[in-house]
Amino acid sequence: MMTRFVLLLVGSLTAFVAKSQDWDRRHAFAKSYCGLSLIGAPAMAEGLLVDEDVVMPFGRSAFLSPAVNIGATHFWGHADFYVSINTVPIKLGDDAVKNSIHMGTFTGLRVYPWAVGEGQGVKPYLGYKFSPWRYRQGDTPELSYKTTRIKGMVDAGLGLATSWGYFTLEGTKLLNPDFEVNLTTAGGPTPDRWPGWTVGMGLNISLETTSVASNPVNKQLNQELREHNKQGLFLAAGPSSAFPVVGSEGAADAYPYLDDLSFPTIFPDVALGYHFTKTDALVAVSRRRMVQRRSAYNRALNIDRQSTVLETYKFVGDYHGFVPYVGVGVGVERMDLEEREGDVVVSEGSYEEMPWYFVFGWDIRPSERGDWWVLRTNLRIPPQLELDHDDHTWSLQHLEFNFIQLVVYPQRWTRARDLAKAG
């Protein structure tokens, strides 16, 4: 679901690729924001527990989930790309059995048929987002378990943008709310249900990051960089997350009470590379550390993955500052696995692989090539990466989503400073 959504998104936007000579229009293309959201699930289905081999229902309270928003409106107010990083859920009542639903990082798109923006008033939108959802239940480590699923959601809401703020109010329908849980280590799966609807509101501060680049220095630097492949060294860093694309079915057969999908964590993604400005292609080395954690009924399995990827990609168009790219990479993966029963290590191992990666994403470039810093979105997936340990196979086919990466070009910054002094 996630991979299809992202490929459809990039493909549909790339279909509109065109060169723009309108300098001012390019610099009004996008407007960033950051802020807070509050998501509420007002109704929860009953939960289930096993008491002396008898399955018993219990009531589950509604909950709120505060989230941190990072995003930007694009295409002059017609599209909003964002992530909302959900924090610890807040239960609105006391339940007989400890339980919680933790929604991970929402990655989403809102589409405004009528552009939202300063002076435009309240505008309706439709949206789609996906996120890992993790259900936890149990009062003690010996009797607790977790179940993770990647869920898609559709939104309908209203947005209002001012010179300093961006506000949203929406209702959300969860697609396919049914799931299964293992109430014991030996028993089979039991049907359960996520909340089918949520409501949410966002309060954000607008951040202007593109119009400030509309200046004579950037315009002159842009012309220079279109004529040669110099001044392309860059450093990049940003938060990333890894969403499981394929479940570990073989391991799930051996450990049915452990997640076949791991819950994503947020980690830093750093890179060093060179951008060949005339040909509009680059090579880079990226470095990430990703940790998978699964635990249930006092058993825990952790996979610590150190990943270094040499990648190259080509930018394939430019639509008023939205510049998509595609490429490939080869990685060196160091993977350390540890399995525990309580505090006792029962199994461990270290492995190395060299998988290939499919790489894609986009830049937001106000001045085509003339900016000394830009915002980049990276997505990577190793289509064949797995870890075999003790006759069990754990999938590491994760979609890495580095939503906003700050890319700094020190040579361009030096050149821009010199042009400013000369002017």
Domain boundaries, the chain: 31-207, 213-422
- Provide the token pair at 76: 């002059």
Rg (CA), the chain: 23
Label the pairing between strands 233-244 and 197-207: unpaired
- Convert the pLDDT of each residue in 45-79 to its tens digit: 888 887 777 788 888 999 999 999 988 888 888 88
| Between 321 and 68, residue with greater pLDDT | 68
Judged against a pLDDT cut of 60, whether residue 267 lies above it is answered with yes
H helix and E strand count, the chain: 5, 25
The two tokens of residue 223 are 């012309």
Q: What are the pLDDT digits (tens) for 361-388?
A: 988 888 777 788 888 989 999 998 988 8
Which residues, 6 or more positions from 150, have their beta carbon under 8 angstroms from its beta carbon?
1, 2, 130, 131, 132, 133, 243, 244, 261
Domains 31-207 and 213-422 share a fold: yes
For 405, the token pair is 């990466």
Q: Which two tokens stand for residue 41?
A: 């699930």
pLDDT of amino acid 393: 85
Helix H or strand E segment including 222: helix 216-225
Report the alpha-carbon distance of residue 364 to residue 74 in Å, rounded. 9
Statement: residue 95 has pLDDT above 60: yes
pLDDT digits (tens, 9 = 90+) for 191-203: 888 899 999 999 9
**∠ CA 281-321-16, rounded to 5°:** 90
Q: What average pLDDT does this structure show over 316-328?
A: 86
pLDDT of residue 25: 60
pLDDT band of residue 250 (cuts 50, 70, 90) is: low
**Cβ neighbour number for residue 330 with a 10 Å cutoff:** 14
Distances (CA, A) of 100 to 64, 174, 194, 195: 11, 17, 11, 12
More confident residue, 6 or 15: 6
Look at residues 91, 83, 78 and name the one whose alpha carbon lies nearest to residue 125: 78
Share of residues in the chain with pLDDT > 70 (%): 90
Q: What is the pLDDT of residue 26?
A: 60
Give the separation between CA 155 and CA 170, rounded to whole angstroms. Answer: 6
Q: Is CATH 3.20.20.80 what the domain over 31-207 is classified as, yes or no?
A: no
Mean pLDDT of the chain: 85
Question: Which two tokens mark 379?
Answer: 């997505």
Q: Looking at domain 213-422, which of 3.40.50.1820, 2.40.160.20, 3.40.640.10, 2.40.40.20 is its CATH number?
A: 2.40.160.20
- Residue 332: what pLDDT? 95
Query: Which tokens go with 262?
Result: 């791991």
Residue type, 406: L
Strands 123-137 and 99-103: antiparallel
Q: What is the pTM for the complete model shown?
A: 0.77
Q: Above 80 in pLDDT, residue 97?
A: yes
Tell me the pLDDT tens digit for each residue of 198-249.
999 999 998 766 555 556 777 788 788 888 888 999 999 998 988 888 877 7
